[in-house]
Amino acid sequence: MPGLRQEILVMKSIKEKLNSKKIPRHVAIIMDGNGRWAAKHGSERSFGHEHGVDAVRSTVEGASEIGIQYLTLYAFSTENWERPKNEVDALMGLLVQAIENETDELMKNNVRLDAIGDLKKLPSDVSKKLQECIHALSSNTGLTLVLALSYSSKWEIAEAARKIADDVKNNKINPANIDDKLFGKYLSTAHLPDPELLIRTSGEFRISNFLLWQIAYAELYFTAKLWPDFRKEDLFKAVYDFQNRERRFGKISEQLLS
Ligand code: IPE
Ligand code: IPE
Ligand code: MG
Taking the centre of ligand 3 as the mean of its atom positions, its distance from the CA of residue 100, in whole angstroms, is 25
Confirm whether 62 is domain-assigned: yes
pTM for the model stands at: 0.95
- Decide: 206 in ligand 2 pocket, CB within 6 A: yes
In a domain, 79, yes or no: yes
- In this predicted structure, the answer to whether residue 85 has a pLDDT above a threshold of 90 is yes
Among all ligands shown, which has an atom nearest to the Cα of 49? 1
Q: Is residue 58 part of a domain?
A: yes
69 lines ligand 2 (CB under 6 A): no
pLDDT tens-digit series, residues 3-43: 677 766 666 689 999 999 999 999 999 999 999 999 999 99
Ligand nearest to the CA of 205: 2
Residue 97 has pLDDT above 90, yes or no: yes
Query: So what's the pLDDT on residue 9?
Result: 66
Active site residues: 32, 80
Q: Is the pLDDT of residue 119 over 60?
A: yes
Q: What local confidence, expressed as pLDDT, does residue 258 receive? A: 73
CA of residue 33 to ligand 2 center, whole Å: 8
Output the domain CATH number for residue 222: 3.40.1180.10
Residue 181 lies in a domain: no
Q: Whose CA is closest to atom 14 on ligand 2?
A: 208
Does residue 123 form part of some domain? Answer: yes
Where does the pLDDT of residue 2 fall: very low under 50, low under 70, confident under 90, or very high at 90 and above? low
Atom of ligand 1 nearest to the CA of 204: 12
State whether the beta carbon of 91 lies less than 6 angstroms from ligand 2. no
Query: What angle separates helix 45-66 from helix 232-243, to the nearest 10 degrees?
Result: 50
DSSP 8-class letter at 250: T
Nearest CA to ligand 2 atom 9: 80
Stronger pLDDT, 114 or 9, i.e. the higher one: 114
Judge whether 91 lies within some domain.
Answer: yes
Structural domain boundaries enclosing 205: 23-152+194-242
Distance CA 111, CA 70 (A): 10
User: Is 257 within a domain?
Assistant: no
- 228, part of any domain: yes
Proximal ligand: closest to the CA of 35: 1
How many domains does the chain contain in total? 1
Centroid of ligand 2 to alpha carbon of 132 (angstroms): 27
Say how far residue 144 (Cα) sits from the centre of its chain.
11
Among 29, 30, 32, the mutation site with the greatest number of ligand 1 atoms within 8 A of its Cβ is: 32
Burial 188-211 (b: 16+ CB within 10 A, else e): bbeebebbbbbbbbbeeeeeebbb
Distance CA 246, CA 249 (A): 9
